[in-house]
């Protein structure tokens, strides 16, 4: 036991001297990394789910209720970006809810359920798909999106013009997809578009540079994992919610939120490659 206290005081003295060495900034970032909010990725919300990306309305409501009952605080994208830019610590138990592709389930169900509980969310929109529908799916219309954007509970992000494989595009097309979609959404909604979600989660250094040049403050991938620190704010992983992976399993949803900090340390490293998801961790926690 004595040895333990000796070791402990050594660590304490060592930490103090590290602070004295002017490493305060690093400490601040480490503290912040200690709680980086889990980012949930939804697609469509439906009363009858068919697609692997769908989440049933009843499951969605149960997830929102659980977050509320357990005092989780949903962040708007504006709040999220302001915290990472100022290098401030995130509020304990904060969480970011995001929806990709701009499906009509947002206006049919999600918006109402979120409003009821005063919870915030970000919707990543494919601008060319606004108003497009088929028998299998429907997207929000321009008018619906404008209406949603009036509420401060909701933030709008870009998910490109046409959801292409960005890695296959030449420079001009890449620029159009990333910049023009931002401009379009800013004009339509009158809101500043702060974040981008990579279609199919595909990105590399060149794509990140384009996202930075276009003036975005953060960008999100589709790989599962715990979020990263500031250096990687253009490749923030998310926790995927959909039929095929979690079968809308509420226990899994809770596990992801609660055990989030136990993700492997690689998840916190600066990187330009897709997140190296630890397959063992993932299997174990399925």
Nearer to Zn ion, 80 or 123 (CB): 123
Q: Please calculate the CA angle 178-184-185 and round it to the nearest 5 degrees.
A: 90
User: Least distance in Å: CB of 159 to Zn ion?
Assistant: 6
Is the Cβ–Cβ distance between 227 and 80 less than 8 Å?
A: no
Which of 54, 79, 100, 217 is the binder for Zn ion (CB under 5 A)?
100
Q: Residue 222 and residue 202: Cα distance in Å, rounded?
A: 8
User: Least distance in Å: CB of 197 to Zn ion?
Assistant: 7
Which of 59, 101, 177, 210 is the binder for Zn ion (CB under 5 A)?
101
Size, binding site for Zn ion by CB under 5 A: 2
User: Least distance in Å: CB of 190 to Zn ion?
Assistant: 24
Q: Residue 137 and residue 54: Cα distance in Å, rounded?
A: 10
Q: Of residues 5-34, which lie at the interface with Zn ion (CB under 5 A)?
A: none
Q: Residue 211 and residue 182: Cα distance in Å, rounded?
A: 10
Q: Please calculate the CA angle 242-134-40 and round it to the nearest 5 degrees.
A: 20
Please tell me whether residue 54 binds Zn ion under the rule CB under 5 A: no
- Stretches 81-89, 101-109, 202-210, 227-235: which one binds Zn ion (CB under 5 A)? 101-109
User: Least distance in Å: CB of 169 to Zn ion?
Assistant: 16
Nearer to Zn ion, 67 or 185 (CB): 185
Which residues lie below 8 Å from residue 194, measured CB to CB, with a gap of 6+? 77, 78, 81, 155, 157, 216, 217, 218
- Stretches 94-102, 133-141, 213-221, 252-260: which one binds Zn ion (CB under 5 A)? 94-102
Q: Helix 2-20 and helix 24-34: axis angle, to 10°? A: 120
């Amino acid at each position: 036991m004595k040895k333990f206290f000796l070791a402990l005081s050594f660590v304490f003295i060592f930490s103090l001297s590290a602070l004295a060495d002017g490493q305060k900034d690093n400490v601040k970032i480490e503290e912040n990394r200690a709680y980086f909010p889990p980012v949930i990725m939804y697609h469509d919300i439906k009363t009858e789910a068919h697609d692997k990306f769908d989440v049933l309305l009843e499951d969605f409501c149960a997830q929102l209720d659980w977050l509320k009952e357990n005092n989780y605080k949903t962040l708007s994208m504006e709040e999220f970006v302001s915290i990472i830019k100022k290098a401030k610590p995130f509020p304990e138990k904060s969480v970011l809810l995001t929806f990709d592709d701009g499906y009509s389930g947002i206006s049919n169900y999600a918006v109402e359920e979120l409003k009821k509980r005063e919870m915030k969310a970000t919707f990543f929109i494919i601008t060319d798909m606004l108003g497009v529908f088929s028998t299998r799916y429907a997207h929000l219309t321009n008018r619906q999106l404008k209406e949603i954007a009036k509420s401060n509970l909701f933030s709008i992000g870009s998910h490109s013009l046409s959801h292409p494989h960005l890695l296959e595009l030449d420079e001009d097309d890449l620029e159009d997809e990333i910049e023009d979609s931002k401009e379009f959404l800013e004009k339509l909604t009158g809101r500043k578009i702060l974040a981008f979600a990579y279609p199919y989660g595909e990105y590399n250094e060149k794509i990140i540079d384009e996202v930075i040049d276009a003036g975005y403050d953060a960008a999100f991938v589709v790989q599962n994992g715990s979020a990263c620190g500031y250096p990687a704010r253009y490749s923030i992983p998310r926790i995927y919610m959909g039929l095929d992976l979690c079968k809308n399993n509420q226990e899994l949803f809770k596990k992801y939120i609660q055990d989030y900090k136990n993700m492997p340390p690689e998840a916190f490293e600066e990187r330009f490659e897709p997140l190296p998801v630890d397959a063992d961790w993932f299997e174990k926690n399925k």
